Protein backbone atom coordinates (compact mmCIF):
# COMPACT_ATOMS: atom_id res chain seq x y z
CA UNK A 1 0.00 0.00 0.00
CA UNK A 2 1.53 3.35 -0.97
CA UNK A 3 2.08 6.09 1.60
CA UNK A 4 -0.73 8.57 2.02
CA UNK A 5 -0.32 11.57 -0.29
CA UNK A 6 -1.62 14.95 0.81
CA UNK A 7 -1.01 18.12 -1.15
CA UNK A 8 -2.27 21.27 0.48
CA UNK A 9 -4.18 23.68 -1.74
CA UNK A 10 -2.38 26.74 -3.01
CA UNK A 11 -3.23 29.60 -5.31
CA UNK A 12 -3.21 27.38 -8.41
CA UNK A 13 -2.79 23.96 -6.82
CA UNK A 14 -5.73 21.79 -5.79
CA UNK A 15 -6.01 19.93 -2.53
CA UNK A 16 -5.08 16.31 -3.20
CA UNK A 17 -5.74 13.47 -0.78
CA UNK A 18 -4.76 9.98 -1.86
CA UNK A 19 -5.10 7.66 1.11
CA UNK A 20 -5.66 3.95 0.52
CA UNK A 21 -5.86 3.24 4.26
CA UNK A 22 -8.95 5.44 4.75
CA UNK A 23 -10.21 4.98 1.16
CA UNK A 24 -10.14 8.72 0.55
CA UNK A 25 -9.25 9.76 -2.98
CA UNK A 26 -9.98 13.40 -3.76
CA UNK A 27 -8.84 16.34 -5.86
CA UNK A 28 -10.54 19.63 -5.07
CA UNK A 29 -10.21 23.33 -5.71
CA UNK A 30 -8.35 25.07 -8.51
CA UNK A 31 -6.14 22.88 -10.70
CA UNK A 32 -3.75 25.11 -12.60
CA UNK A 33 -0.30 24.17 -11.24
CA UNK A 34 2.76 25.89 -12.67
CA UNK A 35 4.71 22.68 -13.14
CA UNK A 36 1.96 20.41 -14.42
CA UNK A 37 4.37 17.68 -15.50
CA UNK A 38 5.88 17.25 -12.04
CA UNK A 39 2.46 17.56 -10.39
CA UNK A 40 0.97 14.96 -12.76
CA UNK A 41 3.86 12.54 -12.38
CA UNK A 42 3.51 12.61 -8.59
CA UNK A 43 -0.18 11.71 -8.70
CA UNK A 44 0.07 9.19 -11.53
CA UNK A 45 3.03 7.43 -9.88
CA UNK A 46 1.03 7.12 -6.67
CA UNK A 47 -1.87 5.59 -8.61
CA UNK A 48 0.53 3.13 -10.27
CA UNK A 49 1.67 1.97 -6.83
CA UNK A 50 -1.91 1.83 -5.57
CA UNK A 51 -3.01 -0.30 -8.53
CA UNK A 52 -0.62 -3.06 -7.43
CA UNK A 53 -2.74 -3.65 -4.30
CA UNK A 54 -5.93 -1.62 -4.63
CA UNK A 55 -8.78 -1.52 -2.15
CA UNK A 56 -11.85 -3.54 -2.98
CA UNK A 57 -13.66 -0.30 -3.75
CA UNK A 58 -12.22 2.98 -4.97
CA UNK A 59 -14.38 6.10 -5.03
CA UNK A 60 -12.39 8.94 -6.59
CA UNK A 61 -13.90 12.36 -5.91
CA UNK A 62 -13.32 15.37 -8.14
CA UNK A 63 -14.52 18.67 -6.61
CA UNK A 64 -12.92 21.18 -8.91
CA UNK A 65 -13.73 24.87 -9.11
CA UNK A 66 -11.50 25.33 -12.15
CA UNK A 67 -8.96 23.44 -14.24
CA UNK A 68 -6.92 24.58 -17.22
CA UNK A 69 -6.24 22.73 -20.45
CA UNK A 70 -2.98 21.01 -19.32
CA UNK A 71 -4.76 19.85 -16.16
CA UNK A 72 -7.58 18.36 -18.24
CA UNK A 73 -5.06 15.82 -19.57
CA UNK A 74 -4.08 14.91 -16.00
CA UNK A 75 -7.75 14.33 -15.10
CA UNK A 76 -8.19 12.06 -18.09
CA UNK A 77 -4.97 10.19 -17.23
CA UNK A 78 -6.26 9.64 -13.68
CA UNK A 79 -9.54 8.32 -15.03
CA UNK A 80 -7.71 6.04 -17.47
CA UNK A 81 -5.80 4.51 -14.57
CA UNK A 82 -9.07 4.09 -12.68
CA UNK A 83 -10.58 2.50 -15.78
CA UNK A 84 -7.72 -0.04 -15.81
CA UNK A 85 -8.43 -0.85 -12.15
CA UNK A 86 -12.08 -1.34 -12.98
CA UNK A 87 -11.25 -3.64 -15.90
CA UNK A 88 -9.12 -5.74 -13.52
CA UNK A 89 -12.27 -6.48 -11.52
CA UNK A 90 -12.00 -3.79 -8.83
CA UNK A 91 -15.03 -1.67 -8.00
CA UNK A 92 -14.37 1.93 -9.05
CA UNK A 93 -16.69 4.94 -8.93
CA UNK A 94 -15.93 8.47 -10.08
CA UNK A 95 -17.81 11.17 -8.16
CA UNK A 96 -17.82 14.40 -10.16
CA UNK A 97 -18.97 17.26 -7.95
CA UNK A 98 -19.97 20.63 -9.36
CA UNK A 99 -21.65 23.80 -8.18
CA UNK A 100 -25.21 24.08 -9.47
CA UNK A 101 -24.36 27.47 -11.02
CA UNK A 102 -21.29 26.14 -12.83
CA UNK A 103 -22.65 24.77 -16.10
CA UNK A 104 -19.11 24.43 -17.57
CA UNK A 105 -17.99 22.09 -14.77
CA UNK A 106 -21.16 20.02 -15.14
CA UNK A 107 -20.51 19.72 -18.90
CA UNK A 108 -16.88 18.78 -18.25
CA UNK A 109 -18.14 15.90 -16.09
CA UNK A 110 -20.47 14.84 -18.89
CA UNK A 111 -17.56 14.86 -21.35
CA UNK A 112 -15.28 12.82 -19.09
CA UNK A 113 -18.07 10.34 -18.47
CA UNK A 114 -18.31 9.84 -22.22
CA UNK A 115 -14.56 9.29 -22.58
CA UNK A 116 -14.08 6.52 -20.03
CA UNK A 117 -15.87 3.31 -19.24
CA UNK A 118 -16.44 3.89 -15.53
CA UNK A 119 -19.40 4.23 -13.19
CA UNK A 120 -19.86 7.99 -12.88
CA UNK A 121 -21.94 9.86 -10.37
CA UNK A 122 -22.45 13.57 -10.84
CA UNK A 123 -23.17 15.42 -7.64
CA UNK A 124 -24.65 18.92 -7.68
CA UNK A 125 -23.47 20.89 -4.65
CA UNK A 126 -25.42 23.90 -3.24
Please, what are the domains in the chain? 5-125 (3.30.750)
pLDDT score, position 35:
92
Torsion, CA 28, CA 31, CA 34, CA 40, rounded to 10? 80
pLDDT score, position 63:
98
Residues of the chain with pLDDT under 50: none
Q: 4-43: buried (b, 16+ CB within 10 Å) or exposed (e) per residue? A: ebebeeeebbbbbebbbeeeebbbbbbbbbeebeebbeeb
pTM of the model: 0.95
pLDDT score, position 1:
78
pLDDT score, position 111:
97
pLDDT score, position 65:
96
Amino acid sequence: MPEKMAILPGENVPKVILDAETSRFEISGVCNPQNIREFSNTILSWLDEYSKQPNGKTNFVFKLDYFNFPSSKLLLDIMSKLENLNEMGNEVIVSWCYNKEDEDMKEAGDEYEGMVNLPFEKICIN
